[in-house]
Structure 1
Amino acid sequence: MSVRRIVTVSAGLSTPSSSRLLADRLTAATERSLGDRGIRARVRTVELRDLAHDVMNAMVTQVPTGELPGVLSDLAEADGVIAVTPVFNASYSGLFKSFFDVVDQGALDAVPVLVGATGGSPRHSLVLEHALRPLFSYSRALVVPTGVYAASEDWGADDEGARELNERIERAGRQLALLAADHERSGRDPYDEPVAFEDLMSGLGT
């Protein structure tokens, strides 16, 4: 079974956070869709609040330290990225922006990215189009057509509201899975994901 690497980035500041909840649901939808295609997802979930000091240090010194180098390395090797931020002042959070400011230029070139955001009011949903999509387009990422915004009221929505949010999540997950399935990282090591021994033997007679 082939493998695709998915890195999920959540910029939620509280524990638990609605941003992490949305990130987890988008990740699960992507995993399911990849599984339907016979592809296994290898997921790393990154909580930016745990990296806040490392991110700020890297902004000042231009040298990533602590856990940040490993996260940046995984991001550069990703076949797909899920990026979710809370909305502050009608835009992404400062921590979210600072993290992607320290990502190497070109690391997201042609990488599929699914954008998501959470906020208190549905009127902030346009943050997906006027802030998040331009940010990743500037990085030359492939932003999936469907972004997902979840307002506070969506989490306690009635059956229809919950169904609409779930449909957006599933559609976005399918779109990311489709792009990630076809993504080829530059310099992919052909021995990085060797075929399992049982798969090699499955076509041989006894």
Structure 2
Amino acid sequence: MKLAVVSAGLSSPSSTRLLADRLTAAALGHLDAEPQVIEVRELATEIAQHLVTGFPPARLAAALDTVAAADGLIAVTPVFAASYSGLFKSFFDLIDKDALTGTPVLLGATGGTARHSLVTEHALRPLFTYLRAQVLPTAVYAASQDWGEQGLARRITRAGTELARSMSPAAPGTDTAPAPGTDTAAAIAPRSPTGAITSTDPANGFRTVPFEQRLAALRAE
């Protein structure tokens, strides 16, 4: 299984690469995959050449192929002017429009202030939704003051676990999806002869009153 990691940090070392590495480690804690890291800043010249000429140099072509062939993707960008960096966007502008269809994608971003924390939702998520990727529910934003905090560590762990689960195929015989035409509610709780859902086990901790009984009580009030 292949995991592509795209980091668009502009310095070395960078907080963007640090976040990408921690997200990768969190995912690999639950997943047997081969991570391949792409430092976009190292491809800046090739990206510009491709945008102008329409032909990718060999190193850039290999990076684009790595992303297209991946079973999962971690994409992390620094925040500039309340959005993803221009270099990050330029790289993904060169990805084939169908290359990420259905691919699980974990989003991450770094910035100097918590005021940009929604960049993952108003900028990154729409971009990868347009590319028809499977964008994971948890995205991770790390402001400068977040490093070393337990809240960031918990978000990283949760996001990495989500990615691992999305990339791992279900084992044979573990498909728990109901068959076509199955009454899902009936599979969860038994029904009385009147069709109302009832609880027959006190350990469930709830009691469901049949609708007819509740309606009769309301009319009597």
TM-score, normalization: structure 2? 0.75
* 1:115 aligned counterpart, secondary structure: strand
1:98 paired to 2:85: no
Cα distance, 1:139 vs structure 2? 0.1
Residues matched between the structures, number: 170
Q: Cα RMSD between the aligned structures?
A: 1.0
1:124 corresponds to: 116
1:45 maps to 2:37: yes
* 3-state SS in 2 of match to 1:83: strand
TM-score of the two chains, using structure 1 as the length reference:
0.81
Partner of 2:138, secondary structure, is coil
Q: Secondary structure at the match of 1:14?
A: coil
Structure 1 unpaired stretches of 5+: 35-39, 184-206
SS of the residue corresponding to residue 99 of structure 2 reads coil
> For 2:62 and 2:33, how far apart are their aligned partners in 1?
19
Q: Matched residues in 2 for 1:145 and 1:61: separation?
A: 37
Residue matched to 2:177:
none
Tell me how far apart the structure 2 counterparts of residues 92 and 118 of structure 1 sit (CA, whole Å).
10
Q: Residues 25-65 of structure 1: CA distance to partner in whole angstroms, max 9, x if unpaired? A: 0000010011xxxxx21010010000001111111111111
Q: Following TM superposition, by how much is the alpha carbon of 1:76 offset from its aligned partner in structure 2, in angstroms?
A: 1.0
> Higher relative contact order at CA 8 Å, sep ≥6: structure 1 or structure 2?
1
Correspondence for 1:169: 156
Amino acid at match of 1:124: H
Instruction: Give, as a single letter, the amino acid of the residue that structure 2 aligns with 1:33.
Output: H
Matched residue, 1:154: 146
Q: Deviations over 1:130-174 (max 9, x none)?
A: 00000000000000000000001112x4xxxx2110110000001
Secondary structure of 1:84's match?
A: strand
Deviates more, 1:86-95 or 1:50-59: 50-59
How much does 1:99 deviate? 0.1
Report the Cα distance in structure 2 between the residues aligned to 1:135 and 1:153, rounded to whole angstroms. Answer: 27
Give the letter aligned to residue 171 of structure 1: R
Residue 66 of structure 1 deviates from its aligned partner by 3.1
Letter of the 2:163 partner, please give it: L
SS in structure 2 of the partner of residue 140 of structure 1: coil
Distance 1:181 1:59 in 2: 35
The alignment partner of 2:126 has SS state of: helix
| Runs of 4+, deviation exceeding 6 Å | none
CA distance in 1, matches of 2:57, 2:119: 31
Measured in 2, the distance between the counterparts of 1:104 and 1:56 equals 17
Mapped to 1, the partners of 2:56 and 2:107 lie a distance apart of: 24
**Which one has the largest radius of gyration?**
2
Q: Percent identity?
A: 58
